Chains A and B, each alone.
Chain A
């Protein structure tokens, strides 16, 4: 049964008149050909341009900014935790490395165990360090300088310069006396203000010479050494051959009178060496620390205590491992929670927007267009969360560094990779909701109330 309509009397191609602009002839529109029997090319496919995808995405995300932000919150925190973790680990690692200056990394100090009461009597001070420690150590590969030093037991003997009677000024001082082998001066990187260091010759002959630290020289009023002024420690005269300006190690030397060990033995009763200061090449500290006790006391190396700088590589690796493994797990968990949050809210919004999906299908959207729209929305949401989270993480690193007075350190690629990570998370989280949206039946969707 064909229902024939009453003949329509109007103009053939009557269109909307009035305010509407004249129709641009869109393909697939009215045509005078009788039947286009499935000529595929004549009918345009529906399109969804990238520009439209972008603007639809922006409109959807900005429609309810508060909700958008809350949806992204989990991912924001996750990315922030990751960035802050990596940044703080690097910052802390850098901080520890920063303490390993070249000076401490090349220093090894050997001293005897139980220095004072070894053997019972307090006067019987036996040291495992031999007097020729310097020449034993300097032969080791990696040692650049070595010297022994000991505090000289001067008791209550005071130091004074030439016996000038000055009733108004103090002329005698309690000044520490240190016995040092000639090698100690390079080992502590001593620098001279004037004069010279004493050498092996002085030490072997037992010459009563002395090198003054700058503070000691000032108190004893010694400024020039070209005529080798004499000072007295107790009643023992000492000829001053040099005055130090500075040392890199053992700052106690700066206020001391430094004399050869032979002099200390003969005239002040020094019984043993207190410690050996060794300067090694960079990287040789661990090696020398194991070799030095054996070289010094082949029979009883266990009686010696070796102080070495902690190995920087070990420490840094330890710190980064501790911080990273803990917080990366935390960051990963919050990222997972964030992704679930995005997936959840996107899924809810798919259900909420069922009628919108139906409408879009009726207006020409294909399943792929619907899927693309929801994927783009969740991806943009993830990227947004990534950017905000990165900012938050970097801010955390800076604030923590500021309070600890650290230098914040951050890999330059991190702030760029993190938003991409967020976008990937959004993309993954949006996959199922987008699939769900694409499979929404337009008929059912349009029947519901909008």
Chain B
């Protein structure tokens, strides 16, 4: 079975002077249905890895296969197409548009993909129902609590049915109890078979994942994680 993510000696060096080796020949395989946490302190290179995984940045060395596709050889429009179809982003700061309703925010995810314009709203409603916000369709994100906002953002990531959910500190802006609920939601999504990668500096968040990979000074370290 093709892994969702296959990193093969992936490197990213920011040109200097002095040149900074943010990632040094990283190898990683994420299989379909994995729930993986990338943990590391700030400056460890985890943001760089997130951007490479999210096709927002290009590596300076190595290969990155997403769903078996060698992303290095793709044109920028194709990489954007992969972002639209295969990756669902969840951000620490939610990044919702305040002047649009919740369902319109979720629908935004389908704008840059081909087809399905007529059923876009239905799909957005279904995604909001999947995260337990079926009753807050028409409201504005500014009227929601932090946890609810992150649920809208997760619904936006789900609506394109991506093969990979990339979550960047998804609980960073939430209190512990609310963060717990969001992590519970990720666990449910994982149980439904979705592939989830969470980037965090918080060990308590990482503990919820099936697999924890630590990153330090641009290198990955395998560490024993609780297997569910």
Contact = CB atoms under 8 A, between A and B. Distances in A.
Contact of A35 (B33, B70, B123, B160): B70
Given A14-B33, A35-B68, A442 B220 contact: no
A196 to B, nearest CB: 89
Given A48-B111, A355-B95, A30 B78 contact: no
Interface stretch (A180-188, A361-369, A378-386, A411-419): A361-369
B89 interface: yes
B113 A20 contact: no
A46 B34 contact: no
B99 A63 contact: yes
Nearest to A37: B70
A363 to B, nearest CB: 5
A57 to B, nearest CB: 12
A448 B93 CA distance: 8
Contact of B112 (A4, A43, A64, A360): A360
Contact of B126 (A8, A19, A35, A52): A19
A33 B68 contact: yes
Nearest to B84: A364
Contacts of B116: 24
Contacts of A1: 27, 220, 222
Interface string A1-37: 1111110101111111111110110111111111111
Contact of B34 (A8, A360, A362): A8
Interface string A35-71: 1111110111111110110001001000110000000
B33 A10 contact: yes
Contacts of B47: 443, 447
Interface stretch (B174-182, B189-197, B199-207): B189-197
Given A30-B67, A36-B68, A363-B108, A16 B78 contact: no
A317 interface: no
Specify which of B4, B47, B65, B78 lies most central, judged by the most chain A CB atoms within 10 Å of its CB.
B78
B97 A356 contact: yes
A37 B73 contact: yes
Interface in A384-401: none
B95 A446 contact: yes
Nearest to B125: A19
If over half of A's interface residues share one DSSP class (helix, strand or loop), that class is named, otherwise mixed; here it is loop
B33 A43 contact: no
Contacts of A363: 83-84, 89, 108-109, 111-112, 156
B19 interface: no
Contacts of B85: 26-29, 44, 364
Contact of B80 (A26, A32, A45, A63): A45
B220 A26 contact: no
B78 A40 contact: yes
B34 A16 contact: no
Interface in A90-141: none
Interface string B84-120: 1110010101111101100010001101111111010
Interface in B111-140: 111-117, 119, 122-123, 126-127, 129-130, 134
A359 interface: yes
A449 interface: yes
Of A15, A19, A46, A364, the most chain B CB neighbours within 10 A belong to A364
Contacts of B210: 6
B81 A15 contact: no
B16 interface: no
Contacts of A23: 161
19 contacts: A16-B193, A19-B130, A29-B86, A30-B32, A30-B163, A38-B69, A40-B73, A45-B81, A48-B112, A56-B111, A64-B99, A361-B83, A362-B83, A364-B84, A365-B111, A366-B77, A366-B80, A446-B91, A446-B95
Interface of B: 1-2, 4, 27-34, 36, 47, 51, 54, 56-57, 65, 67-70, 72-78, 80-86, 89, 91, 93-97, 99-100, 104, 108-109, 111-117, 119, 122-123, 126-127, 129-130, 134, 156, 158, 160-161, 163, 168, 189, 192-194, 210-211, 213, 220, 222, 227
